[in-house]
Amino acid sequence: MSTEDQIIHKIKGEIGEDHLHDASNYRGECDDLYYPPDTESFARLLSALYAEGKKITIAGARTGLTGGCVPEGGALISTDRMNRIGPFDRERETVTCGPGVLLADLQEHLRQHGYFFPADPTETLCTIGGVVANNSSGARSYKYGSARGFVTAAEVVFAVGARLRLQRGDVIEQGGYFSFEADGKPFRLPAPMLKMPSTKNAAGYYFKPGCDLLDLLVGSEGTLCVFTEVTLKVLPLPERLLSCVAFFESVEGALGFVSKSRRHGVTETRSHGDTETRSLEAVRALEFFDGNSLGFLRDDFPKVPEGKAAAVWFEVEATNENFDEVVIEWAGRLEVVGVPLEEVWMPVDPAGVEEIRKFRHAVSWKVSEYIKQKGLRKLGTDTAVPIEAFDDYYRWAIAMVREAGIKYVAYGHFGDCHLHLNMLPKDNTEYVTGKGIYLELCRKAVELGGTVSAEHGIGKLKKEYLKLMYGEEGIGEMRKVKRYLDPKNLLNTGNLFD
């Protein structure tokens, strides 16, 4: 057996610090670190560790914000070496890849074929395994929804080491169960009878009557299985892209523009699995930045003017034929709401569009760096509420943080009514105060019919908020699924619930 075929094993003392924390600055420890090269060795390793009774944590690029990939003892398995991108299938518009493939590498591979993968999390150095395990979404979710709808097939390994190849449509929930065979063993997996919010949501297990087993497994944060190979539906790159940042004198003006833009072009929907996406003519990204966010970014992006209360970034897909028409249309919409065009950042070249994307992604990175320097954990909401309640929810949330005297930046996917309100405590005292505010923000989101986590998931850091959302009965429904597939509770222990 060559070195390339062997599992690499490191023991405590040989394990680098980088493997023991994620982007939230949550830290842990482990006894062993393994790097399997393929599904066969992964399944064999998982089975052996499970038989030994060892806690097992799976990690990709560790870019998460909830501690989900951070080990709390036991063994850590890295997917870094499982990074093969398979052939692009132009006829089916799919690509198959390993869980260790970086999203940035996949997008570059697809770009060479004129395609892209719609899920667009802020951190492009995340892995595909992480994207699927956490049902990631990002800025383009306004049009395309989350990753779940683009997973067409997968190979998964359950905690006991059993392997299953699964095509969308193979296993459908019937009568409260998913029935299938893995490695010749029959499974009758109970479905979690949950009532999920109508908003964008990444909190806990997914369930709708008659849903696909793939939809339950995607977003289960590694608690039910490990994805060792994934086939993704991909889409042709748009011929042209209008990307624009409009700056507003008031927050109310920005909120009003977002509200009007939500209604533009939404004339039909297209289904991807169990998610719906808006029509091809609709805006694909619709994001908000408050004045504090703009101040955070101004030094690095001189196009950000001084004294503005808020900004809205939007992207619209276009063709070569209608691009000029789209630009004129949106310029007119901005003029109607009183935004001077000379203050609008609207590049028409690819380099300018890329600069705006860097602007969009920079704010999250800046917040993470601030928190890391303070030696604290990230304290940023991931809440979403129904559209009719969102503007008032935003005003109420900002008022709470201001009243507490804690610095903050607020931004998010406002097209999806999804708020990232990041508190920036100066010390541990303010952090504790901020934690109390965070709880109230989550409680309010649930009261309004929303979610405590629209895209980042629950991991180890937000378990109390998941309980707030689903109650003991809902958590019990998730536990029965977990117990069936992982009776020893060893796989990614501590994620979602204890």
Chain-centre distance for alpha carbon 389 = 23
Under 8 Å CB-to-CB from 205, ≥6 apart: which residues? 192, 194, 216, 219, 220, 224, 477, 478, 481, 496
Q: pLDDT value at position 349?
A: 87
Describe the crossing of helices 387-404 and 251-262 by its angle, rounded to 10 degrees.
160
Burial class for 72, CB neighbours closer than 10 Å (0-12, 13-18, 19+): middle
Which is nearest to 376 in space by CA: 15, 3, 21, 5? Answer: 21
What is the third-level CATH fold of 238-366?
Alpha-Beta Plaits (3.30.70)
How wide is the angle at C-alpha 468 spanned by C-alphas 463 and 470, nearest 5°? 95
Q: pLDDT value at position 271?
A: 41
Which residues of the chain are in CATH 3.30.70.2190 domains?
A: 238-366
Rounded to whole angstroms, how far apart are CA atoms 389 and 310? 20
Q: What region, left, alpha or beta, does residue 291 occupy, with left being phi > 0 and alpha being psi -120 to 50 degrees?
A: alpha
The label of the residue with tokens 């060893």 reads 490
Q: pLDDT value at position 343?
A: 86
Full-prediction pTM beyond 0.85?
yes
Q: What phi and psi, each to the nearest 5 degrees, are found at residue 354?
A: -65, -35
Q: What is the pLDDT of residues 391-425, one digit of tens each?
A: 999 999 999 999 999 999 999 999 999 999 999 99
Q: pLDDT value at position 179?
A: 98
Q: Are 49 and 55 in contact (CB under 8 A)?
A: no
Which residues of the chain are in CATH 3.30.70.2740 domains?
A: 376-457
Describe the crossing of helices 428-447 and 463-485 by its angle, rounded to 10 degrees.
70
What does each of the 498 residues of the chain score in pLDDT, given as a tens digit? 344 569 999 999 999 999 999 988 899 999 999 999 999 999 999 999 999 999 999 999 999 989 999 999 999 999 999 999 999 999 999 999 999 999 999 999 999 999 999 999 988 899 999 999 999 999 999 999 999 999 999 999 999 999 999 999 999 999 999 999 999 999 999 999 999 999 999 999 999 999 999 999 999 999 999 999 999 999 999 999 999 999 999 999 999 999 999 876 443 333 444 444 444 356 899 999 999 999 999 999 999 999 999 999 999 999 999 999 999 999 999 999 999 998 899 998 889 999 999 999 899 888 888 888 888 888 999 999 999 999 999 999 999 999 999 999 999 999 999 999 999 999 999 999 999 999 999 999 999 999 999 999 999 999 999 999 999 999 999 999 999 999 999 999 999 998
Domain with residues 85-235, CATH architecture: 2-Layer Sandwich (3.30)
What is the third-level CATH fold of 376-457?
Alpha-Beta Plaits (3.30.70)
Q: pLDDT value at position 91?
A: 97
Which residues of the chain are in CATH 3.30.465.10 domains?
A: 85-235
